[in-house]
């Protein structure tokens, strides 16, 4: 888009060099509770699955460095959908819900299609 179109749509978030945040994500999984552990999933395993993805995105210019965003802007709405697609495969049907915090007031939720 032109500079004027970007400014009209994204206002103060418009920046020719990109725009970033320190996001926070909450992941909810579901499934059968293990009778011995009392958990649906070991939390260390869950954290590793999420952390591997987040580490690959950390300090990256998403629009330029992540193929998924080659044809769509890296808005929080698109980021949470991207995270869903990536994490759904890692959690093999157990992924239930994602919540992405862009700021304290900007929160985006997704639970698949």
Reported as a pLDDT band with limits 50, 70 and 90, residue 56 is very high
Residues labelled catalytic: 13, 59, 102
57 pLDDT higher than 80: yes
pLDDT digits (tens, 9 = 90+) for 69-82: 999 989 999 999 99
Contact 98, 28 (CB under 8 A): yes
In order of their start, the domains of the chain are 20-110 (3.30.479.10)
Contacts of 95 (CB under 8 A, 6+ apart): 27, 28, 29, 84, 87, 88, 112
> How many beta carbons lie within 10 A of that of residue 50, not counting itself?
19
Q: What is the pTM of this model?
A: 0.84
pLDDT digits (tens, 9 = 90+) for 81-103: 999 999 999 999 999 999 999 99
Closest to 101 (Cα-Cα) out of 21, 29, 46? 21
pLDDT digits (tens, 9 = 90+) for 20-54: 778 999 999 999 999 999 999 999 999 999 999 99
Give the tokens for residue 112.
């698949």
């Amino acid at each position: 888009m032109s500079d004027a179109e970007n400014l009209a749509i994204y206002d103060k978030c418009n920046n020719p060099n990109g725009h970033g945040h320190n996001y926070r994500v909450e992941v909810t999984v579901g499934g059968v509770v293990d009778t011995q552990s009392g958990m649906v999933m070991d939390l260390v395993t869950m954290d590793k699955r999420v952390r591997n993805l987040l580490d690959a995105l950390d300090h990256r210019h998403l629009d330029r460095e992540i193929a998924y965003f080659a044809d769509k802007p890296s808005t929080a709405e698109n980021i949470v959908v991207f995270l869903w697609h990536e994490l759904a495969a890692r959690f093999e049907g157990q992924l239930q819900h994602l919540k992405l915090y862009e700021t304290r007031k900007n929160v985006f939720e997704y639970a698949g299609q």
